[in-house]
Chain A
Amino acid sequence: MYTVRGRTVATAATLDHAICGLWNPHTTQRIKVINFTVFKTGAGTAGDAFRLKRSTARGTQGSAVTPDIDNHSERAVGPVSGALLDLAAYSVQPTLDASELGPEFVAAAFVAAGIVYAIPGGVVIPPGTGLVLAQTAATIWPISGVSFTWLEDW
């Protein structure tokens, strides 16, 4: 099991812009996301909201975190998939699938508004695709602490 954390930069006030994403660059290895978290560091705006979407192209993220062996729950091996945590603000947005995965998280306009969400059954990210926290409101999502936990060997 792996976990990674990073801090986003504020997004543009645009529907469907990515707050962050977990990208699986491997050609054959699937990964299963079992948990994600988001915590605002600024109040943001009333109406801030996002839901999950699958991505088929990575886009160009503002920054990325590359997990290694220390991100493994047993510190045994770096992620075989080479999974990457991509963070806003993207200069080129990921290509998003139309389907919208639950839940939709509508955040209060407070510092530290956030969610810790254990995904029932997990969501598998096939090779060469990603999972994105995509805005459902055209507001500036503020700088946030984000994290994903995933499996590579279930």
Chain B
Amino acid sequence: MYTVRGRSAATVGTSNHAIAQLWNPHATQRIRVVQFGVFKTAAGGVTDAFRLKRSTARGTPGSTVTPDIDNHSERAIAPVSGALLDLAAFSVQPTLAAAELGPEVQPGNIQGACLLYEMPGGIVIPPGRGLVISQITGTIYPVSGISFIWTEDE
């Protein structure tokens, strides 16, 4: 099991823009996301909201975190998939599938508003695909602490 953390930059006020993405660049390896976290560092807007969407093209993230062996729960092996944490603001948005995955989160407009969400059964990211925390509303989502936990050895 792996865990990674990063901090997003503020998005622009546009629906469907990505706050963060876990991207699986591997040609064959699937990964299963079991938890994600989002914590606002500033109040943001009253109607801020997001949900999960799958992505079929990575886009161009504002910054990226590359997990290594220290991100493994037993510090035994770096992620075989080469999974990457991509963070806003994207200069080219990921290509999103139309389907919307739960939950929809509407955080309060207060610094520290947050969600830690354990996914029932997890969500598998196939090879060459991603999972995006994607805005619903056309508001500027503020700088946020982002984390994902996933497995590669199921």
Contact = CB atoms under 8 A, between A and B. Distances in A.
Interface of A: 30, 46-47, 49, 51-52, 54, 97-109, 113, 117, 119-124, 126, 136-137
A54 B71 CA distance: 9
* Majority secondary structure, B binding face: strand
Interface stretch (B53-61, B89-97, B106-114, B129-137): B106-114
A54 B70 contact: yes
Nearest to B71: A99
A109 B145 contact: no
Interface string B55-88: 0000000000101101101110000000000000
Contacts, number: 93
A101 B5 contact: yes
Nearest to B78: A99
Nearest to B1: A121
B112 A107 contact: yes
A126 B39 CA distance: 29
A75 to B, nearest CB: 28
Contacts of A46: 111
B31 to A, nearest CB: 14
Nearest to B150: A120
Contacts of A121: 1, 73, 149, 151
14 contacts: A49-B41, A51-B5, A51-B147, A52-B5, A97-B70, A100-B5, A102-B149, A103-B37, A104-B147, A105-B39, A108-B110, A113-B112, A121-B151, A126-B75
A97 B111 CA distance: 28
A100 B4 contact: yes
A103 B41 contact: no
A101 B71 contact: yes
A108 B65 CA distance: 25
A47 B110 CA distance: 11
Contacts of A97: 70
Nearest to A101: B3
Contacts of A30: 74
B37 A47 contact: no
Contact of A106 (B6, B41, B67, B71): B41
Given A104-B7, A105-B145, A124 B74 contact: yes
